[in-house]
Structure 1
Amino acid sequence: MLQSLLCLPPLESLVMVECAYNRGDIDPTFLRGHLAGNRCGKARDVLARVERGSDSLLETLARVLFRDAGIATETQVWLDGIGTVDFLLEGFLIVELDGVAFHLESRQFKKDRRRDNAAAVRGLPVLRFFYDDVVHAPEAMLAQVREVLNRGSSRWPQPEQPGFGPYRRSLKP
């Protein structure tokens, strides 16, 4: 992991380190302890972006993309009546990343659509993206996200506003 932090492009090393961290194979504190000195600044910057919770490299890439675009991004958020969502952007936009193999399996596909419906009933929009969107067309994906965020903030309840009530997000059970 140290070599990846020192030698690979930042995003690639972030994905590798975060995957190992989320599996419990490495602790960022251990890595940080081996990155002293002036020549390790970029590696420490990457390490500072490592988070617990991403279920896939795709989620790591999307989280970095959203945050670098200045979008308030929460990951793996439990929403009462809906369940855990991949992302909650600006407190009201749910973004889900779907792997074709898993999310197009009949049972999971139905479960995802029921969750989308529950979100819509509560006034929360949902956008779903695939690997190709995140990796090969990130600007198009960001354009769609920004469009909903720009139009949506006055349409859907915000966590800070009265009335968000029973749908307020809570910690994962």
Structure 2
Amino acid sequence: MKYAGWAATTATLRKAGFSDRVIRSAVKNRIIIRQRRGVLVLPDAPTDLVSALVANGRLTCVSAGRHHGLWVLNEPLVPHLFCRHGAAKGYVVHRESYVPTEGPHAVTSLADTLLHALRCLPEVEAAVMVESAVTQGRTTLEFLRARVPGNRNGAARRVLELVDGSADSPIEVVARLLFWSAGIRLEAQVELAGIGIVDFLLEGILIVEIDGKSHLEPRQVKKDRFRNNASTIGGFLLLRYDYEALMYSPDRVLAEVLKVLTSRGGR
């Protein structure tokens, strides 16, 4: 049942060879829980999945992201639910399904999750989720683009134009879109002689590195110091930013980047 999505219908268990007597015994001994008529769940099933089943729906959009192993920039204040019928109070409700999930799963298919995100979330948040799936090789931009045709999906297609599959982390997507928004020419994950692969090279002269938690480790600090020196020797400028700076002070980050580029005639 865990492999099937933490839940199963009585009919599914019967088809798998479990008799009604075995199912009743499992319920009695709390090996499984009868969540509602015809639907059984494991006792340790995640609460958000159980809530989705109770609401007769499936988690989708940003609420399904982590269940699919995708990057999620911000956790939603209100859960997102795919539900064909009913009000589903307390949820952001999505009605359309593009690639349906079969069975009692409490999470929409990866395709539906991404397509709902494209049509619902702010640009950066949607781009982060799609970039994650593309980077993992689990979908393609062509597949998604073909499922958002027409004028009403113009915003979704614009998000797809922001995805290139080069990021190693969600915050790199945030940084890339920030620099693109200012019209800065950039190369991502570019290898420079004597330095190695850098996160971004802006206008051919400014290296921007995005520091994660690993950059606080002594071994990584020494490696970063070497790369910093190599960058200067190679004639490049260098700026480093962490998650907090890009998420909470993007205007300051962009102002500093533009100031450095302007001072060196990069713009």
Whether contact under 8 Å (2:132, 2:165) holds in the other structure is no
Shift >3 Å, 4+ stretches: none
Q: Which letter maps to 1:125?
A: L
Match for residue 93 of structure 1 among 199, 203, 206: 206
Q: Does 1:7 align with 2:120?
A: yes
1:80 is displaced (CA, Å) by 0.6
Partner of 2:143: 30
Compute the TM-score of the two structures, normalised by the length of structure 1.
0.85
Does the residue aligned with 1:44 lie in a helix, a strand or coil?
Answer: helix
1:33 is displaced (CA, Å) by 1.2
Q: Which letter maps to 1:70?
A: G
Q: Does 1:40 align with 2:153?
A: yes
Partner of 2:259: 147
Does the residue aligned with 2:236 lie in a helix, a strand or coil?
Answer: coil
Whether contact under 8 Å (2:134, 2:141) holds in the other structure is yes
Partner of 1:78: 191
Q: Which letter maps to 1:74?
A: E
Compute the TM-score of the two structures, normalised by the length of structure 2.
0.56
> More displaced, 32-41 or 12-21?
32-41
Q: Which letter maps to 2:187?
A: E
Aligned residues: 153
Describe the superposition over 1:17-54 as per-residue Cα deviations: whole angstroms up to 9, x where unpaired: 00111011111111111111221111011011110211
State the distance in 2 between where 1:106 and 1:152 align.
Answer: 32
Give the number of the structure with larger relative contact order, counting CA–CA contacts within 8 Å between residues 6 or more apart.
1
Partner of 1:131: 243
Aligned residues: CA RMSD: 1.1
Partner of 2:216: 104
**What are structure 1's unaligned runs of at least 5 residues?**
155-173
State the distance in 2 between where 1:79 and 1:24 align.
Answer: 26
Does the residue aligned with 1:29 lie in a helix, a strand or coil?
Answer: helix
**What are structure 2's unaligned runs of at least 5 residues?**
1-113
> More displaced, 63-72 or 145-154?
145-154
Q: Which letter maps to 1:38?
A: N
User: Percent sequence identity over matched residues?
Assistant: 50
Whichever of the two has the greater Rg, that structure is 2
